[in-house]
Amino acid sequence: MKFGGTSVEDPAAIGRTAAIVAGRVSAGKRPVVVVSAMAKVTDQLLRAGEAAAQGDRTGALAISSRLRSRHRDTASDLVKNVADLADLLSFIDQKFDSLDEVLRGLSAILELTPRISDLIVSYGERISSRIVAAAFREKSIDAAHVDAREVIITDSQFQKATPLDDVIEKKAAEKLHPLLAQGKVPVMGGFIGSNEAGITTTLGRGGSDFTGALVGGALPSESIEIWTDVDGIMTSDPRVCPDALRVKVISFEEAAELAYFGAKVLHPATILPAVKKNIPVYVLNSRNAACEGTQITSLAPHCNSPFKSIAVKKKLSIIDVVASRMLMTHGYMKAIFDIFDKHRCPVDMVSTSEVSVSLTVDSNDKLPLIAADLSKLADVKYEGKKALVCMVGDNIRGQSGIAAQVFSAIRHVNVRMISQGASEINMSFMIEEDDADEAVRSLHAAFFKDPDPSIFDVDARKAAIGS
């Protein structure tokens, strides 16, 4: 059971989380609990690190001090047993004391390396998981805190480390199985891990979902539950499209595609460990635990609607490489991709013509360097502030007229690149970032007017219209 930042954001949220876990335990389940940092804490820790590295020691320590108070207040609110609370507060103070030391050091060194950044953000999950474990014990759940860095062993690619599955499986057997055998509920932080030398790493932003799936896969477990602040995977981000519907069931492939192309509700790598072991994943709402959420399974049932959901990935750049003579010569594409490889920059979408190649990538500070390397091969232009809209469904390729419907729904929007057919289940296109939200709403209105009730929760929409 993985609980995201909003599910542990304050004492009330942690109380709801405890009640959900207690429910599972009394139903005879033996859960392992993975928690994120409290909502917004990772962002604030990063800001503190950046401030310190820019020499703003006072600003960095002020952020840390506000975070210390927030965690202390949450602990005091939840833990009434005097000795337990004293223990927890002393742990919190110790951690913030060492964080402050790191921040002071940074403000002298003035350089924030990926390794130090991982150390700084790790405090979020290290502390939240201790608070949650103590709060569980207060509610009579026999919880045992586990330091995630002793289980999630990764390579040394700081800020986006790759987990070492075999080692994790061994560590899970060593650290988690004995606790489960004693009837305890292990509670650990998501997102963080350590390399084989014991140095703290992280799995990338949003990585607690990944931890949940890694642990679920390593045990292995009967199911993996991702508890968040929405009713499940929806037909689009409900913050952008308020009439989004819950998708009741979706396939691993569709969910992975959605996650990769921007549906923040799941970390893109989450599904892999579950697919390998064929473990169903559920996305559930900790604010509405009675809702059955979304089930992600290896084979989703047939759906009459062409699409299941629309995802958007923003902050992208488009790179145009134009070479009149060489493009289709043997080895030319390889030369282009070697440059992206050298800069470890993933490419999302590619489109070619006789003289040019257009590629889309996450906007990042390596772009000028990449462009400089590419310009040795051809003329290069790049432009930021683009968004990729990705429509996912298992039934696109066989249906005629779908592309016409998609582009007529957004005929007022300038489309820069299109990709269809690379995957049977995904149709995507690139537009200006400023057009993205409106385009999603138009597409949603066009494709989810009459949704298949076996796949989508249409009752919720009817209830909303009725009220």
Question: Is residue 302 close enough to count as binding ligand ADP by CB under 6 A?
Answer: no
Of the candidates 47, 66, 177, 239, which one interacts with ligand ADP according to CB under 6 A?
239
Strand partners, 251: 297
Instruction: Tell me which stretch binds ligand ASP (CB under 6 A): 63-71, 151-159, 205-213, 324-332.
Output: 205-213
**Tokens representing residue 137 in the block:** 């014990």
When CB distances are held under 5 to 8 angstroms depending on the partner's kind, the choice from Mg ion, ligand ADP, ligand ASP, none that residue 122 binds is: none
Q: Which amino acid is at 198?
A: G
Tokens 């009837």 sit on residue: 183
Q: How far is the CB of 345 from ligand ADP (least distance, A)?
A: 24
Q: How far is the CB of 8 from ligand ADP (least distance, A)?
A: 9
Of residues 175 and 205, the one with the C-beta less far from ligand ASP: 205
Of the candidates 233, 259, 274, 319, which one interacts with ligand ADP according to CB under 6 A?
233
Of the candidates 36, 44, 122, 419, which one interacts with ligand ADP according to CB under 6 A?
36
Of residues 38 and 52, the one with the C-beta less far from ligand ADP: 38
Dist. CA 171–CA 174, nearest whole Å? 5
Q: Would you give the binding string for ligand ASP spanning residues 15-54, x where CB under 6 A is met?
A: ---------------------xx----x------------
Question: Would you put residue 412 in left (φ > 0), alpha (ψ -120 to 50) or beta?
Answer: alpha
Of residues 5 and 451, the one with the C-beta less far from ligand ADP: 5
Chain residue at closest Cβ approach to ligand ASP: 208
Q: What is the DSSP string of 402-450?
A: HHHHHHHHTTTS-EEEEEESSSTTEEEEEEEGGGHHHHHHHHHHHHSSS
Dist. CA 301–CA 453, nearest whole Å? 12
Q: Would you give the binding string for Mg ion spanning residues 397-416, x where CB under 5 A is met?
A: --------------------
Of residues 37 and 440, the one with the C-beta less far from ligand ASP: 37
When CB distances are held under 5 to 8 angstroms depending on the partner's kind, the choice from ligand ADP, Mg ion, ligand ASP, none that residue 236 binds is: ligand ADP
Of residues 268 and 393, the one with the C-beta less far from ligand ASP: 268
Dist. CA 23–CA 12, nearest whole Å? 17
Q: Count the residues of the shown chain that bind ligand ADP, applying the rule CB under 6 A.
A: 19
75 contacts 86 by C-beta, under 8 angstroms:
no
Q: Which amino acid is at 63?
A: I
Question: Is residue 139 close enough to count as binding ligand ASP by CB under 6 A?
Answer: no
Question: Is residue 186 close enough to count as binding ligand ADP by CB under 6 A?
Answer: no
Q: How far is the CB of 128 from ligand ADP (least distance, A)?
A: 11
Question: Is residue 363 close enough to count as binding ligand ADP by CB under 6 A?
Answer: no
Q: What is the DSSP string of 273-338?
A: HHHHHT--EEEEETTSTTS--EEEESSPPP-SSS-SEEEEEEEEEEEEEE-TTTTTSTTHHHHHHH
Work out the burial of residue 335: count CB atoms within 10 Å of its CB; fewer than 13 is exposed, 13-18 middle, 19 or more buried. middle
Question: Is residue 206 close enough to count as binding Mg ion by CB under 5 A?
Answer: yes
Q: Count the residues of the shown chain that bind ligand ASP, applying the rule CB under 6 A.
A: 13
Question: Is residue 207 close enough to count as binding ligand ASP by CB under 6 A?
Answer: yes
Q: Is 5 helix (H, G, I), strand (E, B) or coil?
A: helix
When CB distances are held under 5 to 8 angstroms depending on the partner's kind, the choice from Mg ion, ligand ASP, ligand ADP, none that residue 234 binds is: ligand ADP
Of residues 236 and 317, the one with the C-beta less far from ligand ADP: 236
From 78, 67, 197, select the one nearest 130 (Cα to Cα).
78
Which helix (H) or strand (E) covers residue 127, if one does? helix 114-138
Contact residues for 411 (Cβ-Cβ < 8 A; gap 6+): none
Of the candidates 31, 49, 190, 217, which one interacts with ligand ASP according to CB under 6 A?
190
**How many C-beta neighbours within 10 Å does residue 454 have?**
12
How many Å from the N-terminal Cα to the C-terminal Cα in the chain?
33
**Tokens representing residue 307 in the block:** 């699409």
Chain residue at closest Cβ approach to Mg ion: 206
Question: Is residue 124 close enough to count as binding ligand ASP by CB under 6 A?
Answer: yes
**How many C-beta neighbours within 10 Å does residue 90 have?**
10
What is the C-alpha radius of gyration for the chain, rounded to an integer number of angstroms?
24
When CB distances are held under 5 to 8 angstroms depending on the partner's kind, the choice from Mg ion, ligand ADP, ligand ASP, none that residue 191 binds is: ligand ASP
When CB distances are held under 5 to 8 angstroms depending on the partner's kind, the choice from ligand ASP, ligand ADP, Mg ion, none that residue 230 binds is: ligand ADP
Q: Residues in the site for ligand ASP, rule: CB under 6 A?
A: 4-5, 36-37, 42, 124, 190-191, 205-209
Q: Residues in the site for ligand ADP, rule: CB under 6 A?
A: 4-7, 36, 206, 228-230, 233-234, 236-239, 263-265, 309
